[in-house]
Structure formats: structure tokens, C-alpha cells
Structure 1
Amino acid sequence: AAMGIDADKLKEAGVMYVGAVPMPAYMTMTGKLQFYQENPGPIENYGQPMDPASIALPHWEPPMEAWPVAAGGFDANPLAEKYPLIVTAGTRRFRVHSYYGQNPLLREMEINEPCVRINPVDAEARGIEDGSYVRLFNDRGHAVAKATFSAGIRPGCLDIDRGWQRSQYLSGCNNDLTSKQIVDWT
């Protein structure tokens, strides 16, 4: 049995590692997970404004734009009237960002093109049929993807696949829709 691993041990354990599995340190002063930051700061300091008191403890903030309701001391964003659907980018089983996106075997096993999941209630209100192509757009750009119905998507939200390359979209790209604003607090 090489390295102490044989068929019986592998069947019993399911997965075995050879050697130590390194655990990466957290990007904190102690290298450990911290819920409270004594001296919070940006990962990269390029002179951006920062209020340490507002980030010392975990807290909720609404999305940067198109947030439809006033909550938690934050006002509703007027862009929500123009763009009533909030887009999130989900991870799929066979993807790590854009890795494996060109692998024909993996593409055969799962979705083979960019898709956007939409709640059937939102789809019906917009005349969208399951499997039809839709154009997602905002003031920055657009992306064309196949609509797939999912009751698991909250009404008012869309979930677009992450990791597809621009060349794999019929037109545009999901990255054309996103903000360039960086939130980089430790």
C-alpha cells in the first residue's frame, strides 16, 4: 500500500489525502477568523474613504444600486423603478469562475450555454417563456441568455450563470451589466 493507502482504507474513508492539507490563513492581523476588527482597513489602500466604526463589526448593507425598499436605515434606490429586477451571479456545479468553461465533456453534462434563472411569476408578468432567449440590460450594457424557470429564485431577482466567456453569449456578456465599484475592506 503506497503511502499507507490501500483499497480497503479508501473504500472506508471515501477520500484520503497524501501529506498535510495546508490551511490558508485569513487576511486578518491574527491570521484567524475575526468577527470584530480592532483596526479595520482596506486590503489595498489607494486613498479611498473609510469609516472604521461602520466596518468593525459585520453588518448588512443593501446592494450598491437598484435596491427597491428602504430598510436598515438605507433608502430605496430610485434606479429600482427603472430596473426592477436584481441580478445575482450564481456558481454552477462544474465551474470555478471561467475554468472548465470550454471543456466539452463538462458542457455536455450540464448547461451548454449562458442561462438566467427567473421565477415563473416574474416571467409571466413579462411574457417570457421557459427556454426563450432574453435580453438583460441596464445603463452599462446588455447580455442575451436563455431563460429557465425556477421557483427557487426569489421574485424580483434573477440568477445568471457566472463563468461564461463573452464569445459564448449570443450578444453582450454578464460582465457588461456589473459595476466597477470595488468593496475591499478586510
Structure 2
Amino acid sequence: MVQECTVRKLRISDTQEVYEAFISHPDMRRQGDADTIEKAQSYVATLVNNEKTQCPLAITINDKLVGLVCATLDSSNSNAWLWYWMHYEYRGRSFTTRALATMVNYLFEVRDFYRLELGLRANNPGSRHVAENNGFQREGIERGKFLIDGTRVDVYAYARLRTDPPSQTIPLPLRRGEF
């Protein structure tokens, strides 16, 4: 079977797949609180029902959610804070990198945003790869920001401006009629 990877708006009906992603690996605890079906319902509803401040895109394979890329919108300043996660079994295939490219293009070209920001743990090379392959530049370090299993972990602050050179990452297709 051919696997078609696309992005589309997050739906309430994605709750089961969100739950499955959150229980796929212990490190998903850092992404939010959705490790029961009830918590996953609340997590999805919060994102879906706040269109003025949230822009969640489901990363899908044959329309089944396997990951998420989301923008928390600061429309008054034309800025957004981006974040993303991927079901453990689907990591390492460039789906997140390409989905972030789709989100970046949407925010710059359709929403006319100027600045996109994200933060990632210094000990997370996969997330760093996603950001840097989308043209994000490291702007600083938030020293000792997170306490993970008794150890302080630095966070790298990244940003990309609309005026920065374009990324060479090929975006995932956005399902027709989604925006």
C-alpha cells in the first residue's frame, strides 16, 4: 500500500491517534498531557476550539494522524510560536521536517506573519534538525530551563523571519480545502 503523507487541520476525530502517539514513548510526556483518552479529548478540543490563537496541523499517513505541528498565534505582532511532535514509530522519516515547512509557508504566505519562533531542548538533535532544515536560526540559550529526571537541561531559542532566505525543504502537501 502506498503511504500518502499530508498535513491537514487537526480534528476532534483525531483523539484516538493523539492518545496513541502520547503513549508511544515516555518522552512524549514532555509534549503535553494526553496519556489517557479523556486527557487526549481535552488536549485536542483545546487546540481545535481556539482558532484565533492556535493553528494545529495534523501530520497524516493515509489520513491517520501520526504527528502534529502547531502554531500558537500572536496575530497583533505577526508572530507565532511553533511546536511539533511525532509518534515514536514514525520518527526519523523527515515527516516532521516537511510538515514544519508546510506550516512555515502557510504562516508567511497566507497569514502574512513576520517572525516565527520555537524552542528545543539542547539534548534533542532530532528537533534541532527539524528547525535548522527549515531555516530557523539559533538566537540564544535558556540555561537550565527544564528539569528532566533530576537534571537541568538547556533550551535553544530559534527564530525565522519572513525576510530570511527560503528553506530548501520540500513541504508536505496540504490537503485540499483545509484553509
Instruction: Answer yes or no: same fold by TM over 0.5.
Output: no
Higher share in helix: 2
Shorter chain as denominator, the TM-score bin is under 0.3
Larger Rg: 1
Q: TM-score, normalised by structure 1?
A: 0.27
Identify the structure with the greater strand proportion: 2
